[in-house]
Amino acid sequence: MTQTTLDKSGAASLQQLEREIDHYAGLGDLAPVRVAARDAFARLKRALNHGQVRAAEPAADGWQTNAWVKRGILLGFRLGDLVEMSEPGAHLRFFDKDTIPAHPWAMTDKVRIVPGGSSIRDGSYLAPGVICMPPMYVNIGAWVGEGTLIDSHALVGSCAQVGARVHLSAAAQIGGVLEPVNASPVIIEDEVMVGGNCGIYEGTQVGRGAVLASGTILTRSTPVYDLINETVHRGTAEQPLRIPAGAVVVPGSRAVTRGRGPEWGLSLYTPVIVKYRDEKTSRAVELEEWLR
C-alpha cells in the first residue's frame, strides 16, 4: 500500500497544515476564525483527494494512525452549513454539510464509476484503476489502492484503508471510525479477497493476500481460531485484531459449555482460519481479473 511521495516543500506544507488543523480543532468558538478554518479544511480535503495524506499509513512496525487527519475531518463537519445538494428540478432531494460534498471526478482520474447510484464523498482517495459497481459508498478519509474492485452495496467507511487489487464483494461492510481520533481505522492490505456480506469493524487489520469467505464478521473482540497454527488471534484494548497474511477465514461456531448451553445445544459464532492461501486458492479468486 503505497504513499504519495512529497518533496521537501510539500512535506513542509503538510506540517503547517497539521499545525493549523490542530489549532482550529482545539478551539471552542470557531466563529472568529471561521474563514481561515474552512480554508485549512479545504486544503486537507485536497490532500486527501490526491492521496498525499492519509488517516493511517504503513510504518516500520505496522501501521501508524494520523489522529490529526481525523481531527481535521471532524472540524469540517463542525464548520459546515446544511445546504441542499439536489440536482435542479429533481424529485429526490439531498441535504448535507456544504464542506463535504460529493467527490469531484474527471476522466483523467482513471477511476471507473459505473452508472447506477454510487456515492463517493469528497476527501477520499481512489487510485487509478479502481472499479465502483453501483450502488456503493466511500466515506470521507478513506484510501483505496489501485485496481481494487468495490462491488454493489459495499461500504468503505470513514478513514478505512484498502490496499491495491482488493476485491470487496457485494454487500461487504468495511467499518469507519472518526472518534476517538487516535483509534486505528480498519485496514485491508493488498490483494485481499473479501467475500459477500462480510463485516470488518473496530480497526481490524487484514493481512496481505488473505481470503475472507462470505459472511465472515471480524471485530476487535472476535476471537479467530487458527486451525493450522493451533493458536487464537485476538484484539486487545491497545491492539486491534489482525488476520495474518494469506489466511483463509470462514465463518464457524464454538459450543457454549456454560449454563444451559449444553442442554440447549447452543453455539456461538466465531471465524476460523482453515488454511493459508495456495495456488488453488489464488485461482479461485482470479475471477475479478475478467471484470477489468
What is residue 172's predicted lDDT score, i.e. its pLDDT?
98
What is residue 11's predicted lDDT score, i.e. its pLDDT?
81
Residue among 266, 249, 208 nearest 62 (CA): 208
The fold of 8-81 is: 1.10.166
What DSSP state is assigned to residue 134? S
Alpha-carbon distance of 155 to 152, in angstroms, equals 9
Alpha-carbon distance of 176 to 155, in angstroms, equals 9
Do the Cβ atoms of 268 and 253 come closer than 8 Å? yes
The strand pair at 224-226 and 231-233 is best described as antiparallel
What is residue 12's predicted lDDT score, i.e. its pLDDT?
82
Alpha-carbon distance of 283 to 27, in angstroms, equals 54
- Please name the CATH architecture into which domain 107-286 falls: 3 Solenoid (2.160)
What is residue 199's predicted lDDT score, i.e. its pLDDT?
98
Q: Where are the domains of the chain?
A: 8-81, 107-286
For residue 158, with 0-12 CB atoms within 10 Å meaning exposed, 13-18 middle and 19 or more buried, which class applies?
buried
CB atoms within 10 A of CB 196: 18
Given a cut of 50, the residues of the chain with pLDDT beneath it are 287, 290-291
Alpha-carbon distance of 22 to 60, in angstroms, equals 25
What angle (nearest 5°) sits at the alpha carbon of residue 235, between those of residues 246 and 179? 110
What is residue 60's predicted lDDT score, i.e. its pLDDT?
87
What is residue 8's predicted lDDT score, i.e. its pLDDT?
66
What is residue 279's predicted lDDT score, i.e. its pLDDT?
75
What is residue 289's predicted lDDT score, i.e. its pLDDT?
56
What is residue 103's predicted lDDT score, i.e. its pLDDT?
95
Q: Which cell goes with 107? A: 476522466
Collapsing DSSP to helix, strand or coil, 170 comes out as coil
